Amino acid sequence: MKRKLKIDLMSLIISVVFMAIAYFVKDEIIEIIFWSLAFIIGGRSKAVEGVKKTIEEKSLNVEFLMILSALAAFFIGNYQEGSVLIFIFALSGVLEEYVLNKSSDALESLMKLIPETAIKIQDDREMIVNINDLIISDIVLVKVGQQVPADGIIVKGSTVIDESMITGEYMPVAKEINSTVLSGTINQASAIYVKVSSSAKDSSMQKIIDFIQKAQSEQTKTEIGIEKFEKYYVYVILIAAVLMMFLPPFFKIWDFNTSFYKGIVLLVVASPCALVASVSPVMLSTMSRATKEGVLIKGANAIQKLSNVKTIFFDKTGTITAGYPNVISIDLYAPNKDQILSYIYHIEKQSNHPLAKSIVAYLEDKILIKNMELKTIEQKGRGMASVIDNQEYFVGKTNFNDIRIKEQQEKGYTTSEITLNDALIGIISFSDKIRENVGSTIKKMQGIYIETIMLTGDNQFNANSIAKNIGIDRVIANCLPEDKVKEIRKAKTNGMVAMIGDGINDGPSLTVADVGIAMGSGSDVALETADIVLMNNNIEKIPEIIKLSKKAKSIYTQNIIFSITVIIALIFMNIFGIVKLPLGVVFHEGSTILVILNGLRMLSIKKQ
């Protein structure tokens, strides 16, 4: 429990004790003293908060209004009501603080996972260094039971790594030479040597922490609207209370004592405490709940938008499929096949594209590799080209309407074509495994009336084959990054749109969509532009999070309607003399506590 929450809770307990003493003592002076002590101790924290906020924002706020109401109750001799009012108001503050603490628990847990030091290997010696002093390409030793100090690649040894703090999956993952390991994960089996691939500030763990910190500070449009309303509403209530105190006696509607009393009751019952607390606890609780499920939500706005999504676009490679294309075959229709394969190897070695990496891996043990210097040109979204001995070779996507290409595509394979001086001389066929549970995920989303569309740069045959397997509503194939953006913008005219992707080429689409969702294994660009990150790459979490966002919307809508209804009802009851100050205090502050408790339900809500 945080220090501030402990102090506030202790103040409330002391306040309750003093109120109990005041209630049972018979001496009037002692009774007033204890009611006053209960008032001061119980309201100290909220009073300080209200004054600071008033000075910083140079405007009155709900805290100021409640302190003024309690002081006014004391002024007319209603010591008990004033103390109870400030106690319940402080109690609602403690509950809000509890929500904030719960939402930051996940963040603090992650921060504790980052080790402060690392064992660096230098000149065959072990050195203990601060992780901030590590640079890319340093070699670090990670012993059994230790946390990996930085993102990197294993260069020596093999082990099993606990990645549950990153992915939410509790099954340890086997790692060997050339496997990637992430900072904060725990080495469980044997010592490994890791080559650092990113600095501490750019590590995967630090990015998650930055992500959550940004999320907790973001507000929805509803919250911003309520805050703006609060600023003006406070002044309206103050003016209305003053008018109620002095105008009715002037027109001989009520006597001065009755008018003054009703004015003070108005200050209490019309304060928008419950309304102000309607949204924030719900959103913070929702983000905290999602984090436990291995889903990072960048901010409350993403939750609000996700609850209204009508269409979801899926990138194919790395999202619907595992993203690890394997070469099935390379068919060549030209002489000198070994030489052409060598050219292809060296051309593709210049590219970081997944298909290029797959070609290089496939050819490494099938050809005699010789050193070759050549210049290549990467044609964005299409492939790689190079001029060798005055002949232009190209490997990538073409517009050939060739029966041999169609035959491979009809089998469900992705293809890259090999051309020599714009003539087709070969076809490379790839296959990519569909992720588990994609079909059931699509079905669940269709069950909540969300249209599902696959966007892919792949050919129509292969896209249709995958779409048939998973039951997706619609397919748009042969898309370049700019085509994906165009399709998303078109869909946005009919309602909220989400996009799920993982690669650098998905960055523009994730940005344009109302809600961008990135796979946790995706590129830095995808992770930075996304609103939501699936840390364990479990696409099955998407319908769960959508249902969670809809539940959050339902709860904060309930809170807003309930709090406004209570305020209006109490104002009219005060005018007609039905509600007195004690009852007004209980109803008003009770409604604030109820909306906060209603928001806390998101922490324990069962999976949908």
Q: Give 423-461 pLDDT, tens digit per residue.
A: 999 999 988 788 888 999 999 999 999 999 999 877 787
136: domain CATH number? 2.70.150.10
Does residue 519 carry a pLDDT above 80?
yes
What pLDDT was estimated at residue 272? 87
**pLDDT > 90: percent of the chain:** 37
393: its two tokens:
């070779």
With a CB cutoff of 8 Å and minimum separation 6, the contacts of 168 are: 292, 293, 294, 535, 536, 538
Written as one string, the DSSP assignment of 22-88 is HHH---HHHHHHHHHHHHHHHHHHHHHHHHHHHHHHTS--HHHHHHHHHHHHHHTT-HHHHHHHHHH
User: Are both 61 and 23 inside the same structural domain?
Assistant: yes
Q: Is residue 288 part of a domain?
A: no
User: Are both 230 and 378 inside the same structural domain?
Assistant: no
Q: Give 551-565 pLDDT, tens digit per residue.
A: 999 999 999 999 999
- Per the structure, the count of domains in the chain is 4
pLDDT average, residue stretch 255-274 = 89
**What residues make up the domain containing 158?**
115-202
Q: Give 115-160 pLDDT, tens digit per residue.
A: 889 999 998 899 999 988 999 999 999 998 898 998 999 999 998 8
Does residue 608 carry a pLDDT above 70?
no
As a whole number, the mean pLDDT across the chain is 85
pLDDT band, very low/low/confident/very high, at 220 (cuts 50, 70, 90): low
User: Are both 170 and 316 inside the same structural domain?
Assistant: no
Q: How far apart are CA 242 and CA 565, in angstroms?
A: 23
What pLDDT was estimated at residue 217? 62
pLDDT band, very low/low/confident/very high, at 510 (cuts 50, 70, 90): confident
pTM of the predicted model, to two decimals? 0.70
What pLDDT was estimated at residue 505? 65
Does residue 98 carry a pLDDT above 80?
no
> Are 166 and 185 contacting, i.e. CB atoms less than 8 angstroms apart?
yes
Q: Give 25-63 pLDDT, tens digit per residue.
A: 988 899 999 999 998 898 888 778 877 887 888 888 788
Closest CA to 460 of 380, 395, 402, 406: 406
Q: Is residue 207 part of a domain?
A: no
User: Are both 129 and 191 inside the same structural domain?
Assistant: yes
Give the containing element (helix H, strand E) for 301.
helix 300-306
Domain edge (last residue) among 386, 411, 431: 431
Long-range contacts of 377-381 (CB under 8 A, 24+ apart): 378/350, 378/351, 380/480, 381/457, 381/480, 381/481, 381/505
Does residue 312 carry a pLDDT above 80?
yes
Q: How far apart are CA 333 and CA 460, in angstroms?
A: 24
User: Are both 340 and 420 inside the same structural domain?
Assistant: yes
Q: What angle do CA 207, 208, 210 make, to 5 degrees?
A: 65
Q: Among the residues of 203-255, which ranges form H helices?
A: 204-217, 221-250
What pLDDT was estimated at residue 104? 59
CA distances from 367 to 349, 374, 385 (A): 14, 18, 20
Residue among 315, 458, 514, 531 flagged as catalytic: 315
Closest CA to 374 of 393, 355, 358, 359: 393
Question: Which phi and psi angles does 130 have, rounded to 5°?
Answer: -70, 140
pLDDT average, residue stretch 329-351 = 92
**Known catalytic membership, residue 315:** yes
Q: How far apart are CA 418 and CA 415, in angstroms?
A: 10
> Are 599 and 92 contacting, i.e. CB atoms less than 8 angstroms apart?
no
Q: Is residue 540 part of a domain?
A: no
pLDDT average, residue stretch 480-493 = 88
What pLDDT was estimated at residue 112? 66
With a CB cutoff of 8 Å and minimum separation 6, the contacts of 485 are: 508, 509, 512
pLDDT band, very low/low/confident/very high, at 171 (cuts 50, 70, 90): low
pLDDT average, residue stretch 398-427 = 90
